[in-house]
Chains A and B, each alone.
Chain A
Amino acid sequence: MADNSRIVKTSTKNHYSYIKHNWWSGFLFGLGMVTFIDETVFHQLLQWHHFYDRSTTELGLISDGLFHAFSWFATIGGLFMLADLKRRQSLNWLYWWGSVLTGAGLFQLYDGIIQHKVLRVHQVRYIENLWVYDLVWNTAAVLLLITGLIIIRQARRRMKG
């Protein structure tokens, strides 16, 4: 009996100490995933985004290069961290998905506001009424971010309850 309660206690403790890992794994994967979608859907399939835009700033090139490099690491590293959490039985799916959406929303917002508008890496689409596209792009980002944060809060509550 005493033994049993000890096991339960350590396993919850385990859960708490690995919650940071859940966050990073999900956050990195979410960030990487959204860059991947950006590349395949908007650059390659739809060809809305341009590889280079004559009005791109120097800082824009640097930001694009850094994020592009980081996103590959984030996607693969995030998934390996997920596998690590699974084998340690410390994975909290709800918390993980919340972190994925948060990471995805945050990067989408950075891409939509800083990279597209401030640094002018490229635009969402080369068309009139660009502002509609910008609005949809950034609203989607905020929705992803908020959904992610709500799920994380829900996951926290369940852990405590």
Chain B
Amino acid sequence: MENMHHALTIAPFWNAFFIVLSVIAVGGYIAAVIVSNKKDHLSKWPRYRTVLWIAGILSAFVVMGGPLAKAVHMDFTLHMLGHLLLGMLSPLLLVLSSPIRLILRALPVRRARQFTSVMRSGYVQFVTHPVTASILNIGGLWMLYTTTLFQLMHKYTWLYFLVHFHVFLAGYVFTAAMIYIDPVPRRYSYFYRSVVFILALAAHQILSKRIYAYPPLGVAREQAEAGGMLMYYGGNIVDVIIIYIICLHWYRSKAPRASLHQAH
């Protein structure tokens, strides 16, 4: 992985860039919470959502800036740990913090309507379709690890950031397409989402074993084996949480009427 060192040359600039970006993200969320909490007709925004948002931003930040960001260039196992944090854990935490609902609450009514119409646009509907989201997410990973893209990404800094931006964004859209925490333009049934999710997870697991068996270009065998196993088992942890949430939502939606009355 000799060529992986190149991206380091302008590291300090990017480090500062990601610190600023993270501060803006956390500051923006907290500002939105304050605005939303000032509206008397709305209930207080739950504090745990703010905690989830901060944890999600941190989880993405440590991969792109900070000490781990340097190490992920050198070591494929760490690169994979970074991929799990940036593409899976961070998106899950951010989705659970329900940013879209918060934006809608914080914005003035007219702006909120405009925002909703953007969210309902054909483009957003297409991208957030469970199948499209899965292809963008897992298909992107297949492209990264089975073509020369992985090697190229470590040669060109802009490509490195583009790929990581894609991994992060596709991870978010995928998670949001599977568990409905925020309002979505179109709801798909639990069964439909479950089937797509199983296929996407399977493609992820198949890819991890392939990485183990056929190391990406420029990655040593032992590193690819360790990285592939980390992807396989580490991915499980996040996916089990997503499965649990899908099933929990199903369980709540199926509540018999009698017990609903008891609950209230």
Residues of A at the B interface (CB closer than 8 Å) are: 51-52, 54, 56, 61-62, 64-66, 68-70, 72-73, 76-77, 80, 83-84, 87-88
Complex Cα gap A61–B247 (Å): 27
Which residues of chain B (218-246) have a CB below 8 Å from chain A?
228-229, 232, 236, 239-240, 243-244
B199 contacts which chain A residues (CB < 8 A)? Answer: 66, 69
Q: Does B23 contact A (CB under 8 A)?
A: no
Q: Which residues of B contact A76 (CB under 8 A)?
A: 240, 243-244, 247
User: In the complex, A61 Cα to B198 Cα: how many Å?
Assistant: 15
B256 to chain A, nearest CB (A): 6
Tell me how far the C-beta of A9 lies from the nearest C-beta in chain B, rounded to whole angstroms: 19
Chain A residues positioned under 8 Å from B229 (CB to CB) = 51
A52 touches B247 (CB 8 A): no
Given the complex of chains A and B, what is the CA–CA distance between A87 and B201 in angstroms?
Answer: 31
B-to-A contact residues, CB < 8 Å = 194, 197-199, 201-206, 209-210, 212-213, 228-229, 232, 236, 239-240, 243-244, 247-248, 250-251, 254-256, 259
Contact of A69 among B202, B247, B250 (CB under 8 A): B202
B212 adjacent to A51 (CB under 8 Å):
yes
Q: A70 touches which one: B202, B212, B247, B250 (CB < 8 A)? A: B202
Chain B residues within an 8 Å CB radius of A80: 247-248, 250-251
- Cβ-defined contact, B203 with A65, below 8 A: yes
Query: Among B194, B209, B236, B248, which residue has its beta carbon within 8 angstroms of that of A52?
Result: B209
Whether the Cβ atoms of A66 and B202 lie closer than 8 Å is yes
B202 contacts A65, CB within 8 Å? yes
Complex CA–CA separation, A70 to B200 (angstroms): 11
- A77:B247 contact, CB within 8 angstroms: yes
Q: Which of these, A54, A65, A72, A87, contacts B206 with CB under 8 Å?
A: A65
Do B212 and A72 have beta carbons less than 8 Å apart? no
Separation in Å of the B197 CB from the closest CB of chain A?
7
B232: A residues at CB distance < 8 A: 51
* Complex interface: chain B residues within 8 A of A68 (CB): 201-202, 205
- A56: nearest chain-B partner, CB-CB: B213
B209 with A73: CB separation less than 8 A? no
- Please indicate which of the listed interface residues B202, B212, B248, B254 has the most CB atoms of chain A within 10 Å of its own CB: B202
Question: Could you tell me the distance in whole angstroms from the C-beta of A51 to the nearest C-beta in chain B?
Answer: 6
Residue of B nearest to A53 (CB): B213
Please tell me if the beta carbons of A77 and B194 are within 8 angstroms of each other in the complex.
yes
- A64 near B201 (CB under 8 angstroms)? no
B251 touches A83 (CB 8 A): yes
Q: A72-B240, A80-B250 are in contact. Are A64 and B194 (CB under 8 A)?
A: no
Known: A66-B202, A70-B202, A72-B236. A77 touches B209 (CB 8 A): no
How far is A93 from B96 in the complex, measured between Cα atoms in Å? Answer: 35
B240 pairs with A87, CB closer than 8 A: no
Tell whether A84 pairs with B251 under 8 Å between CB atoms, given A51-B212, A51-B229, A52-B213.
yes
Residues of A within 8 A of B205 (CB): 64-65, 68-69
Residues of B contacting A83 with CB < 8 Å?
251
